[in-house]
Every structure is written in structure tokens, then in C-alpha cells.
Chains A and B, each alone.
Chain A
Amino acid sequence: MAIIKADKLGVSVAKGPSLMTGAVPKNDWWDVPATFKPGNYAYPAKKEIIEYHTQKTFPSHPGLFGQPRDWDPESDDWNLPEGWEKIILNGLKERLDKFRSLKIFMDCCVRCGACADKCHFFLGTGDPKNMPVLRAELLRSVYRNDFTLGGKILGKMAGGRPMTFGVLKEWFMYFYQCTECRRCSVFCPYGIDTAEITMIGRELLHLVGVNINWIMEPAANSNRTGNHMGLQPHTFKDNIVYLCDDIEEITGIRVEPTFNRKGAEVLFITPSADVFAEPGIYTAMGYLLLFHHIGLDYTWSTYASEGGNFGLFTNNEMMKKLNGKMYAEAKRLGVKWILGGECGHMWRVLHQYMDTMNGPADFLQVPTSPITGTRFDNAASTKMVHISEFTADLIKHGKVKLDPKRNDHRTVTWHDSCNTARAMGLLDEPRYVMQNVCNNFHEMPENTIRESTFCCGSGTGLNTDEIMELRMRAGLPRANAVKYVRDRHAVDTLACVCAIDRATLTSLMNYWNPDVNVCGLSELVGNALVMEGEKERETGLRFEPLAGMEG
């Protein structure tokens, strides 16, 4: 066997694309084509899923998701519709007219570079097209070419370029290497919301049928059964009843939740993953215990059985429809207000978009805690309160009995989930709850938490296993900060309030910090709650032994 010299080997690997994940750009970004290889793209939406959306979700909006078809990102022929360039440009024009923010974002960037090194995808890959400014430039260059005078006259010299198949490929690659976490926006002196540029980029891609299955199928499930898991009402209910069985085994208390009960004071809506998937189910057990503990007059809904809004990852029409479902159910049941569980994008849609889509929800009342009397004026328009706000208020008024020692078997750190932290400012409430339910808590470094929190790396529908490497490098900045507190304080639990985080951080920790578990905040609350009439607790909600209670 011939022995290859190290320097030659170095040259060959630097020039060629990786066998696994595609080319590393080594030239000017403009000239580096996007190359799709197994592992660097999420699978396209199945034809029948797009057919479903066309026929069932939006029969009144033909073409919203392009022509249903089979296509392969690795191929040079994506079976795009005739005149697809025109479809994109018309779509862009329509959106520039419709969304004033888009027009401003296209025009006002001075390319100062403040955002460039703030993106977790850039920090994990070093790929310049993952700098938010450059990712936006992928769209902005087309905007310049066709919608500005300078671009129309000077073309490339003015930073414009025509919409070509190569540009479309770049869009598909890099608008799906953005989790819309908005960390870059925090640092932008003009307040450009780069996530909204990704959102528009994805909307335009949808128009020509370029999309991914991990978003489109959950969105179809949400439209069909009310939740992204596709759980039908009886299964949704059965799963919660099983959780009640576990609660009874652990605490000796029988919790009896109600479903679709008209006239309840509060409708509770949470991500369906809380009902079905680990570790969310332990969080759901925490909710069930808390509501029983305070005697809340509430109901679950098997129709509004999902908080997560996969519309946020597709287009504004889908976002509006899925958000509207929660309010339609609140109206049907005649509740006074809505309590929301530990979800991410549900809250972003609610706080940033709902009022101009479905709101204000005037048929509901401004949420008032029946236990403490606190009126949540911050939710005066949406009529929906976050479980952490609600729980913090209960604790503040001394309405819950807690024994934080029951979480002594854990040393916890806090991940500020992007959507709740940056999109709704939920920063101190969960920390207040945390301080009251556990004794061993350590913050991660300052530039990785609160408004500057790093994304899990798999949000916006990117939590699919075929792009696991991409997810791992995107999640590196988050995992790196967790490693720091693990090494320094022996942290073994990463807590958060987002269902996607709970799923994706589990994999992220599995790779980067295998001895760190992931949990929801309400699981810790459930562990600490001292229930009236309960038996002595020997285990936590995962049936794990409590510190000092082993054996």
C-alpha cells in the first residue's frame, strides 16, 4: 500500500468536499456553491404530505407549498415548477409590500458585522454563510438585483445577483441552518430580526415546493389531530391517565384531571411531547401535581393538544391557523383564560405575532390567578399565562408547600430557551422557581444565558436525526457552557422550559456531556411539592432514588 505523505494528504482533504458533510468553503462566499451530501440536509417533505396540506390544510391557498412531488436535494434537477424564478420574485414582492419589517431589514443593514460571530451555527462551523449578515445577504442580494434601482442598473457591482438555481440551493442549505433563535438580533444596532429573514426565505422556498419533512409532517399532524405527534384524542387522554398512575405509585395521591370540560375556569395547553415523550412526561407529571395541589379549576383539551406551532417554521398562514386552534378551543369550552406549559415557539408566536393574526382574544378575560388573586396584565391581550409566571406567583404568595431537599440528588443549571427568553423576556420567573425547588443550582457563564442564551442548535424543525452532525456542531456553544459548569460544579442536570429543548438537549448532552440529564422546570417543582395526604417519597418523578432515601 502506498504511503501518502502528510502534507499531500493535507492538500487533498482541504481541496475536496468531505465525504460526509459537503464542501468547506475556501473561496469568496459568492463563488462557493452549496453542495448537498448525506448528513448536511434534512429530508424533503414527502409528496403525500404536501398533497395533504394542499387539499386539507389550505384548500383556499393553492400553491402555498408548491407542487406536490418527489425530489432529491443531491440531484441537479429538483423538479421545480416552470417559471419558478418568477414565482419566487413575485412572492418576494408580495411580502415586501405586506411586511414593512422585511423592507426595512432588506434596506437598513450597514454590514457592521456585530451579528457575524453571534450565531451558534457560525461558531460551530466557521462557515461564513452562517454569519447572520451573510445568511441575510443570500436573500438581500436577490432583493437588490430585482427591487432596487442600483441593483437593476449595476447588478453585481451593487451587490445584486439574479435568482438562479445555485442561489436557491444556497437558500435551502442556509435557511435550514438557522434556528431562528434571534441571538444575532440582540447584538444588531438596527434591531434587524434576522430570524424573520430566515422565515421569509423559507416561505419563498415553500412556494416552489422546497421544504423538509420534519416540519411539514408535524404541521400536517397538528392540523389533523391537533398535535404534532398525531395523537388522537383517546391516546392523548390515555397517556395522561398513565402519568396519573405513575404519580399515584410515587406519591400515593390520585390525580384526576378532566378533558374537554366546558365551563372550566382555565384551559391548559402544553406541547404534546410533554404527554408522550421522555423527558417531557416528567414535566407533565409536575403540572398534574401542581394543579392538584392548588385545586385549580382547569381542563386539558384533546383538540388543542399541542402548544408547539410548526407554522412558525413554515409560513405565516400556517402559523396563524395553528395558533387560532388554541383560541377556538378556549372559546368552545368557555374558559376564562389559558395557561400555557413549557413550550418554546408557542410563546414566540403568541407574544410577537398573535395580536396581528388572531388577536386580541377579547372573548377571554384578563388572566387572574384564582389562588393568589394576581392579575396578569402582561397577558391582557393574549389572555395566556406561562406556567413559570403562574408558579412563581404561587410561590411568592406562599400558596405551595415545597421541600427543595427532594431535588438534592441533582445539581442543576438553567438553559434559557431562546423563544421564552428572547421573545417574551421570561428570565427571572423560572430562576425564582428554581431557587425555591432545588438547593444545588449554578448559572452558566454570563454571555451564554438570559438574553444572550445559546440555542440548543436544533430548533425550528431541525431536530431530525439525519442531520445529527450539523445539530451537534450548532449546539456546541451551548454544550460548551454546560461543560464548564459540569467540570466546575459537578452539574448533572440541565433544566429548561421548552419541549424541543428537552428533546434536543438530551441528544446534545448525550454527545458532548454524557453524564448530564435534561429536565423541565415543572419536573423539579413536582419533585419538591409536598402534597396533602401523600406517602413518604422515596423516588423522584422518574422513579429515581432521592438523596438520603436510597434503599
Chain B
Amino acid sequence: MLLAELLVDRKGEILDSWVDQVLTTYPEDGSRFFKKEKDQFANPVGYTVKSSLWAVYALLFEKNEPEGIVACLHQMVRIRAVQTFNPSEAVSMAYILKRVVKDFSRKDNVADLEGWHAFEEKADILAYTLFDLYAASRERLYQTRVAEIKSGNQMITDAGCPSKLMDEIVPKAELKTINV
């Protein structure tokens, strides 16, 4: 059996295992809920992980359209980027997939070196993309924080009384242009 055939024939089982292992990275009680609840609004984490991984799997191993995976992964990585993971664990999905596929191929005795090269290449594309998206999400987080600070909301805690501050730094006539 070729690896490419295994990836299609046992798609459901591979994906179930992949999703399960990714969701196992959460605390036990959270993980149990994320795996069980089907409603996408009652369970945004579980639903997003599942739908993202299914979509990306189809693009990589069925349709052979790796360029489309960014859109599938973005929301999932945004979520992982603000949760309590180390960066390596936040984007560990590609490595988890490799482990899952290795387990299945061992069971089915798949010895297909060329197939493995092709698979590894796609899994690496996935890993690089996840890394890029993670970095972009963190960047976005910091921009969000900076934007909020610049919006003036922080003035109340960090600069004392805004009225006094504005009197000190800005002539009254110019207030209009900076305060609103």
C-alpha cells in the first residue's frame, strides 16, 4: 500500500486521532468538553480545531492545494496564540500529524519511501505556515495592546488626572485636535 492511499483510505480515523491529540493539549476537563460539544458557538475552540484540521488535511492530501491552507489555519492559530501554551506547543499540530500518520503506517505496514518524502514535505509546509501565522498573531496581539494604550484609556492609571496632564502639555486651543 502506498502512503498516499493510506492518507485517503483512512482519512477519517487519522483525522479523528489528530484532532483528539491536538485537543488533548488542553487541561483534562477542558479537553473533554472541547472534544464533545458540537455547536460551533458553544464550543469555539473544539469546533475551530476540528474544522481547521479537516480542511487543511483535505487541501494537503486530497486536493493537493497547499497554498489554500493559510485561510483554514488562521483562526485556530489566533486562538492558540493567546492561550497558555509555549510557542512550540501552540503550533505542534504538524508534528502531532507526523506521529499519527507514522502510527497508522506502522499498523498497515506501509513501506513507501517516496510517499514519505512527499508527505514530509507537505507536513513541513504545514509546520512553516503554522509558525508564520503564530508569529503574525502574536504581532497582532502586541499591536492591539499598543493601539489600546495609544487610545488614551490607559491615561487614567498611568498618568494621573488627564485634565491636569492636558493643561500641562497642550495649550488649550490645540486640545481639540488631540483629544478626540
Q: Interface of A with B (CB < 8 Å)? A: 6-7, 9-10, 13-14, 16, 18-26, 29, 40, 116-117, 122-128, 131, 213-214, 217-218, 221, 225, 228-232, 234-235, 238-239, 242-243, 245-246, 273, 276-278, 281, 445, 447-448, 463-465, 468-469, 472-473, 476-477, 480-481, 483-484, 503, 506-507, 510-512, 514
Q: Cβ of B176 and Cβ of A245 under 8 Å apart?
A: yes
0/1 interface trace, chain B 143-163, chain A, CB 8 Å (1 if under): 111011101111111001111
A466's nearest neighbour on chain B, judged by CB, is: B145
Q: Which of B41, B82, B83, B166 contacts A447 (CB 8 A)?
A: B41
B44, B78, B82 — most chain A CB neighbours (10 Å)? B82
Tell me the count of chain B residues lying within 8 A, CB to CB, of chain A.
Answer: 59
Q: Bound complex: CA of A6 vs CA of B95, how far in Å? A: 6
Stretch at the interface among B2-10, B84-92, B112-120: B84-92
**Is residue B43 within 8 Å, beta carbon to beta carbon, of the partner chain?**
yes
Q: Bound complex: CA of A463 vs CA of B148, how far in Å? A: 10
Task: List chain B residues, Cβ under 8 A from A21.
Answer: 83-84
Q: Which of A13, A124, A221, A445 contacts B85 (CB 8 A)?
A: A13
Task: List chain B residues, Cβ under 8 A from A24.
Answer: 26-27, 84-85
Q: Cβ of B41 and Cβ of A468 under 8 Å apart?
A: no
Q: Bound complex: CA of A13 vs CA of B86, how far in Å? A: 6
Q: Chain A nearest CB: distance from B141 CB in Å?
A: 6
Q: Bound complex: CA of A125 vs CA of B143, how far in Å? A: 22
Residues facing A in B12-62 (CB within 8 A) are 25-31, 33-34, 37, 39-45, 48
Q: Chain A nearest CB: distance from B16 CB in Å?
A: 19
23 interchain pairs, CB-CB under 8 A: A7-B95, A10-B89, A10-B95, A20-B84, A25-B27, A40-B84, A218-B156, A230-B156, A230-B160, A230-B161, A235-B163, A235-B166, A238-B175, A239-B179, A278-B152, A281-B180, A469-B141, A473-B79, A476-B45, A476-B82, A477-B41, A510-B140, A511-B141
Q: Cβ of A18 and Cβ of B85 under 8 Å apart?
A: yes
Q: Bound complex: CA of A448 vs CA of B41, how far in Å? A: 7
Q: Cβ of B43 and Cβ of A213 under 8 Å apart?
A: no
Q: Interface of B with A (CB < 8 Å)? A: 25-31, 33-34, 37, 39-45, 48, 75, 78-79, 82-86, 88-89, 92, 95-96, 98-99, 140-141, 143-145, 147-149, 151-157, 160-164, 166, 172, 175-176, 179-180
Q: Bound complex: CA of A273 vs CA of B149, how far in Å? A: 15
Q: Cβ of A511 and Cβ of B152 under 8 Å apart?
A: no
Q: Bound complex: CA of A448 vs CA of B39, how far in Å? A: 11
Q: Cβ of B144 and Cβ of A468 under 8 Å apart?
A: yes
Q: Cβ of A214 and Cβ of B157 under 8 Å apart?
A: yes
How many A-B contacts at CB < 8 Å in the complex?
Answer: 185
Q: Bound complex: CA of A242 vs CA of B173, how far in Å? A: 11
Q: Chain A nearest CB: distance from B21 CB in Å?
A: 9
Task: List chain A residues, Cβ under 8 A from B179.
Answer: 239, 242, 276
Q: Cβ of B44 and Cβ of A277 under 8 Å apart?
A: no
Given A10-B95, A24-B26: A18 and B84 within 8 A (CB)? yes
Q: Cβ of A277 and Cβ of B88 under 8 Å apart?
A: no
Q: Chain A nearest CB: distance from B129 CB in Å?
A: 17
Task: List chain A residues, Cβ under 8 A from B172.
Answer: 238
Q: Dominant SS at the B interface? A: helix
Q: Cβ of B88 and Cβ of A469 under 8 Å apart?
A: no
A212's nearest neighbour on chain B, judged by CB, is: B157
Q: Bound complex: CA of A13 vs CA of B95, how far in Å? A: 14
A473's nearest neighbour on chain B, judged by CB, is: B82
Q: Cβ of B156 and Cβ of A221 under 8 Å apart?
A: yes
Task: List chain B residues, Cβ under 8 A from A14.
Answer: 25, 89
Q: Cβ of A125 and Cβ of B84 under 8 Å apart?
A: yes
Q: Cβ of B41 and Cβ of A229 under 8 Å apart?
A: no
B163's nearest neighbour on chain A, judged by CB, is: A235
A22, A122, A235, A484 — most chain B CB neighbours (10 Å)? A235
Given A24-B26, A477-B44: A510 and B156 within 8 A (CB)? no
Q: Cβ of A126 and Cβ of B26 under 8 Å apart?
A: yes
A278's nearest neighbour on chain B, judged by CB, is: B151
Q: Bound complex: CA of A484 vs CA of B41, how far in Å? A: 9
Task: List chain B residues, Cβ under 8 A from A16.
Answer: 86
Q: Cβ of B92 and Cβ of A9 under 8 Å apart?
A: yes
Q: Chain A nearest CB: distance from B20 CB in Å?
A: 14
A215's nearest neighbour on chain B, judged by CB, is: B157
Q: Chain B nearest CB: distance from A458 CB in Å?
A: 10
Q: Chain A nearest CB: distance from B71 CB in Å?
A: 11
Q: Chain A nearest CB: distance from B40 CB in Å?
A: 8
Q: Bound complex: CA of A278 vs CA of B89, how far in Å? A: 37
Q: Chain B nearest CB: distance from A280 CB in Å?
A: 10
Q: Cβ of B28 and Cβ of A242 under 8 Å apart?
A: no
Q: Chain B nearest CB: distance from A194 CB in Å?
A: 17
Given A117-B37, A232-B163, A235-B166: A506 and B43 within 8 A (CB)? no
Q: Bound complex: CA of A469 vs CA of B176, how far in Å? A: 33
Q: Chain A nearest CB: distance from B76 CB in Å?
A: 12
B33's nearest neighbour on chain A, judged by CB, is: A117
Q: Bound complex: CA of A278 vs CA of B92, how far in Å? A: 39
Q: Chain A nearest CB: distance from B12 CB in Å?
A: 24
Q: Bound complex: CA of A29 vs CA of B27, how far in Å? A: 10
Q: Cβ of A19 and Cβ of B86 under 8 Å apart?
A: yes
Q: Chain B nearest CB: distance from A460 CB in Å?
A: 16
Q: Bound complex: CA of A126 vs CA of B44, how far in Å? A: 11
Q: Cβ of B41 and Cβ of A507 under 8 Å apart?
A: no
